[in-house]
C-alpha cells in the first residue's frame, strides 16, 4: 500500500511566503549588527595595538628631537593612511605610573607641560608639530605614555559611530 504525502494547500504556500517575508529582514538586520559588532571589536584591538606600539616607539626614541614624529609615524603605519582622519588625538604624556592617564585638559586636546597633543592631520603630515612636553625635556628612565582617541564609524550604518580610546605606558630606555 502506497502512502500519499500531504503537500498542503495553496493557502499554505502563501503563509510560507509571508513568514519568510517577516523572518528574512529580521535575520538580515541581526547579521548586519553582528558584522558591525565584529568590526568594532577589531577596531578596538587595532587602537590598543596602536597605542602599545606608539608607546614602545616613544620609549626607544628616548629624548631624540624627532621622538614625537616617530610616534606619529608609528600611529600612521598602524592605522593606514586612509584612516588618519579618524584619529582625534594622539597624546604623548609624562606618566606617573603604569596605569596613569593624561590630564583631562590633555584628553580634551589642550597641550601643557605634561603632554604633547597631536591631531589626525599631524599624523598624516611629514612635519614635526609643536610639542607641549617636548622630547628634550624628558629624562631617561622616566615613564612616557601614549593616549589615542579614535573615531570609529559604523560599517553598516545601523550602529552609531564610537569613540575608541586606548593608552599605553612604557619606561624611556636608558641609552647604552
Model confidence over 44-73: pLDDT tens digits? 999 999 999 999 999 999 889 999 999 999
Mean per-residue pLDDT, 155-174: 92
Digit-coded pLDDT (tens) for 4-42: 665 656 656 678 888 889 999 999 999 999 999 999 899
4, part of any domain = no
97, part of any domain = yes
27, part of any domain = yes
Q: Which domain holds residue 91?
A: 10-171
Residue 82 has pLDDT above 70, yes or no: no
Residue 170 has pLDDT above 80, yes or no: yes
Digit-coded pLDDT (tens) for 104-138: 999 999 999 999 999 988 998 888 778 899 999 99
Torsion of CA 53, 59, 64, 65, to 10 degrees: 60
28, part of any domain = yes
How many whole angstroms separate alpha carbon 157 and alpha carbon 134? 40
| C-alpha angle 109-74-175 in degrees, rounded to nearest 5 | 100
First to last CA, the chain: 94
More confident residue, 8 or 101: 101
pLDDT of residue 125: 85
Backbone angles phi, psi at 69, to 5 degrees: -65, -40
Residue 140 has pLDDT above 90, yes or no: no
158, part of any domain = yes
Q: Is 58 exposed, middle or buried (0-12, 13-18, 19+ CB in 10 A)?
A: buried
Residue 148 pairs with which residues in a beta bridge? 90, 166
How many whole angstroms separate alpha carbon 24 and alpha carbon 17? 10
176, part of any domain = no
- Give the E-state strand segments of the chain in sequence order: 87-95, 115-118, 143-152, 162-171
1, part of any domain = no
| pTM, entire model | 0.84
Confidence of residue 171 (pLDDT cuts 50, 70, 90): very high
How many whole angstroms separate alpha carbon 10 and alpha carbon 2? 24
Phi-psi region of 155 (alpha: psi -120 to 50; beta: other; left: phi over 0): alpha
132, part of any domain = yes
Structural domains in the chain (count): 1
Residue 85 has pLDDT above 90, yes or no: no
Amino acid at each position: 500500500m502506497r502512502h500519499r504525502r500531504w503537500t498542503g494547500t495553496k493557502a499554505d504556500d502563501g503563509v510560507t511566503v509571508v513568514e519568510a517575508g517577516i523572518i528574512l529582514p529580521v535575520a538580515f538586520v541581526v547579521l548586519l549588527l553582528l558584522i558591525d559588532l565584529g568590526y568594532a571589536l577589531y577596531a578596538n584591538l587595532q587602537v590598543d595595538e596602536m597605542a602599545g606600539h606608539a608607546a614602545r616607539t616613544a620609549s626607544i626614541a628616548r629624548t631624540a628631537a624627532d621622538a614625537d614624529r616617530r610616534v606619529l609615524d608609528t600611529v600612521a603605519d598602524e592605522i593606514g593612511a586612509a584612516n588618519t582622519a579618524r584619529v582625534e588625538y594622539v597624546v604623548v604624556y609624562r606618566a606617573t605610573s603604569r596605569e596613569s592617564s593624561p590630564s583631562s585638559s590633555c584628553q580634551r586636546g589642550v597641550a601643557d607641560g605634561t603632554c604633547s597633543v597631536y591631531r589626525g592631520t599631524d599624523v598624516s603630515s611629514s612635519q614635526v608639530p609643536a610639542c607641549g612636553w617636548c622630547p628634550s625635556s624628558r629624562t631617561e628612565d622616566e615613564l612616557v605614555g601614549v593616549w589615542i582617541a579614535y573615531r570609529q564609524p559604523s560599517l553598516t550604518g545601523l550602529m552609531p559611530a564610537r569613540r575608541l580610546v586606548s593608552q599605553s605606558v612604557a619606561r624611556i630606555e636608558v641609552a647604552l
